[in-house]
Amino acid sequence: MKRRTMPIVAALAATTALLLTACSGSSDSSDKAEGADQNTNSISKSPKASPTSPTSSAKVPDFGLPADVKVEIESVTTGDKTKDQVLKEQAEALMARQRIYVDLDPNSRYLTRYYDGEARAFYASEIKKAKTEGRTITGLYRYYDRKVQENDDDRAVVTYCEDRSKAFAKDIETGKARKTKPSPKDFIKNTATLRKTEHGTWLVQSFRGESSARECQ
């Protein structure tokens, strides 16, 4: 992989797709994902439950999520100080992602603390769109099989699986979930590139995702 991060636009131009909320059984794109097309590859077998369980969830700060938004993140310890720090802050970034879709504030401190570059610009645009369309998030988001694939002094690449089979868009006005039928598309293989700041914290710079990922089912 090259030293520079992959722009989100480039990831969307390939066969991968950024998948941002809800599950993917409906023909209405606003119910499937916040602002991105999904990979249409199909898998014949039924999705299996992810290996994550509440008892193995990573310990992260309280992000003040509403009761109807649940997040389970597999706890990972490598024994390498740098990798463990990257995985810790990447887990926090996943929690922050849910919070910004609850707040729908493009200037949210959760967005500026955990995201930068292409990733921050993308989320700022998408939450503006979600606010205009009157939708937020609800349900269970699960993240597992998290691995640091590359790292050096100021850059790291993390891959992880995501299960959104029980996550949905929600109408802000009515409070009703836009429930959709579970699909293999709800299982996503993500790749995130993080950079280290001058303050020693890690920010997500760019990311891409592939739906219907076999290795995540």
Instruction: Kindly give the pairing relationship between strand 135-151 and strand 155-171.
Output: antiparallel
Q: Which domains are assigned to the chain?
A: 8-36+50-216 (3.10.450.50)
Return all residues near 54 (Cβ < 8 A) that are at least 6 apart: 72
For residues 170 and 96, give the distance between their C-alpha atoms in angstroms, rounded to a whole number: 18
pLDDT tens string 117-165: 999 999 999 999 999 999 999 999 999 999 999 999 899 999 999 999 9
From the number of C-beta atoms within 10 Å of its C-beta (0-12, 13-18, 19+), residue 136 rates as buried
Tens of pLDDT, residue by residue, the chain (217 residues): 434 433 333 232 232 333 333 333 332 333 433 323 333 222 223 334 444 343 367 788 889 999 999 999 999 999 999 999 999 999 999 999 999 999 999 999 999 999 999 999 999 999 999 999 999 999 999 999 999 999 998 999 999 999 999 999 999 999 999 998 999 999 999 999 999 999 999 999 999 999 999 999 9
Nearest partner of 77 among 152, 155, 146, judged by Cα = 146
Strand pairing partners for 211?
A: 188
Question: Which residue in this structure is represented by tokens 């699986």?
Answer: 161
Nearest partner of 197 among 115, 142, 118, 128, judged by Cα = 115
Which amino acid does the sequence have at 65? L
